[in-house]
C-alpha cells in the first residue's frame, strides 16, 4: 500500500467507502466507515465544547436554504431512523472551512431534491446541518473531532464520513460512494464498448495496461454494484489516462470462462495483453479506489 504522503500527492480528493481521502484545503483526515484513519493533519474545532470565546454570533435558526435544512438532535434521529439517505454537515458559525463547504452543499442538495434519487419505500434524500455550538452533546456523541464533519447515513446506519472542506465534485464522489448514488458521478473516462470476445481481446492487446471489471446479475448484483461504483470513481480520477473497462458478463456470454474467473464480480488487470492479476467475488466488491490505484501503480512501475 502507498504511504500517506504518497496518497496525498496522488489523490485529488475522494475514494469510496472503506478507504480514506484528504481534501485539498485546510481540512484534515478524511475517512469512511470500515477503515482506520491515517493522519494527514486537520483543522480542529475549538476545545471540547466546540464553542468560541463568546466573540461569534450564533448561526441562524431552523430554516431551509437551497434545500439544506438546519436540524436538531431529535429531528436528526428521526430522519436517520426513517431509513432514507441523509447527508449531515456538522458545522460552526466561526469555522472558516465550514463556510467554504456551503456552496457545494447547496448545489448537491438541489440535485438530490430533484427526485432523481428517490427510492420507493423510503424518504427522499436529505441534506441537514447541525450547529455544533448549539448541540455540543450531540456533536460529541457523533464522534465529531474537527469541523466541518460530513456524515452519511442510509437505512438507519452511518455509511461514511469525512472532515474538511471539499469541492462539489469531491462531495459528489463521497456521496456516491457512501450512499450508493453512482448517478452522481460524471463519468469522464468512458469505457470502450465491446460486443464480442474477439473485440475484447483486441482492446486488451491495444492497451499497455488495462483494468477490466466483469459484473454479474442475479445473486451477484449487489457486489457488482459496489464494484461498479468503485470503478466509476477510479475512472473519473484517472481522467482517461488509463483504460478502465466494465462489462456485464450476461451481455458477453463466455467471458468469465475465457478469463478463467471462478466468481463474479471480478477485476482483471492486463499488462501488454497478458493477465497479471485479478480479484473475484467479495474480494473484488470490497476493493476500494486506493487498493486498485496501488495495484495499477505497481504494474506501471514494473514497466519502467
Residues noted as catalytic: 95, 98
Nearest CA to 214 out of 261, 181, 180, 182 is that of: 261
Q: Is the dihedral of CA 247, 252, 258, 263 positive or negative?
A: positive
CA distance 223 to 166: 28
147 contacts 132 by C-beta, under 8 angstroms: yes
Nearest CA to 64 out of 97, 113, 122 is that of: 113
Helix (H) or strand (E) holding 157: strand 157-163
CA distance 96 to 59: 13
131 contacts 92 by C-beta, under 8 angstroms: yes
DSSP 145: -
Give backbone dihedrals phi and psi of 210, rounded to 5 degrees, phi first: -140, 135
Nearby residues of 212 by Cβ (< 8 Å), 6 or more positions away = 204, 245, 246, 247, 259, 267, 268, 269, 270
The number of residues in the chain equals 304
Burial of 136 (0-12, 13-18, 19+ CB in 10 A): middle
Burial of 172 (0-12, 13-18, 19+ CB in 10 A): buried
* Residue 143 grid coordinates: 464522534
Amino acid at each position: 500500500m502507498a504511504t500517506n504522503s504518497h496518497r496525498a500527492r496522488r489523490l485529488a480528493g475522494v475514494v469510496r467507502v472503506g478507504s480514506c481521502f484528504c481534501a485539498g484545503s485546510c481540512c484534515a483526515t478524511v475517512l469512511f466507515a470500515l477503515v482506520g484513519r491515517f493522519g494527514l493533519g486537520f483543522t480542529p474545532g475549538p476545545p471540547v465544547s466546540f464553542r468560541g470565546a463568546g466573540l461569534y454570533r450564533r448561526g441562524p435558526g431552523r430554516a431551509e436554504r437551497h434545500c439544506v435544512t438546519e436540524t436538531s438532535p431529535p429531528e436528526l434521529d428521526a430522519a436517520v431512523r426513517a431509513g432514507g439517505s441523509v447527508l449531515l454537515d456538522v458545522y460552526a458559525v466561526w469555522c472558516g472551512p465550514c463556510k467554504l463547504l456551503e456552496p457545494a452543499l447547496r448545489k448537491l442538495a438541489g440535485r438530490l431534491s430533484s427526485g432523481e434519487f428517490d427510492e420507493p419505500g423510503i424518504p427522499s434524500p436529505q441534506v441537514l446541518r447541525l450547529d455544533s455550538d448549539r448541540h455540543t452533546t450531540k456533536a460529541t456523541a457523533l464522534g465529531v473531532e474537527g469541523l466541518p464533519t460530513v456524515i452519511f447515513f442510509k437505512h438507519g446506519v452511518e455509511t461514511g464520513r469525512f472532515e474538511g472542506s471539499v469541492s462539489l465534485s469531491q462531495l459528489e464522489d463521497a456521496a456516491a460512494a457512501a450512499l450508493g448514488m453512482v448517478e452522481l458521478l460524471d463519468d469522464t473516462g468512458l469505457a470502450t464498448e465491446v460486443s464480442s470476445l474477439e473485440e475484447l481481446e483486441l482492446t486488451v492487446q491495444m492497451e499497455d495496461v488495462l483494468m477490466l471489471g466483469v459484473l454479474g446479475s442475479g445473486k451477484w448484483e449487489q457486489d457488482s454494484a459496489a464494484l461498479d461504483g468503485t470503478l466509476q470513481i477510479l475512472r473519473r480520477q484517472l481522467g482517461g489516462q488509463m483504460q478502465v473497462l466494465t462489462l456485464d458478463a450476461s451481455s458477453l456470454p463466455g467471458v468469465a470462462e475465457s478469463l478463467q474467473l471462478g466468481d463474479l464480480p471480478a477485476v482483471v488487470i492486463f499488462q501488454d495483453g497478458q493477465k497479471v492479476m485479478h480479484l473475484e467475488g467479495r474480494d473484488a466488491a470490497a476493493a476500494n479506489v486506493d487498493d486498485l490505484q496501488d495495484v495499477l501503480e505497481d504494474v506501471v512501475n514494473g514497466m519502467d
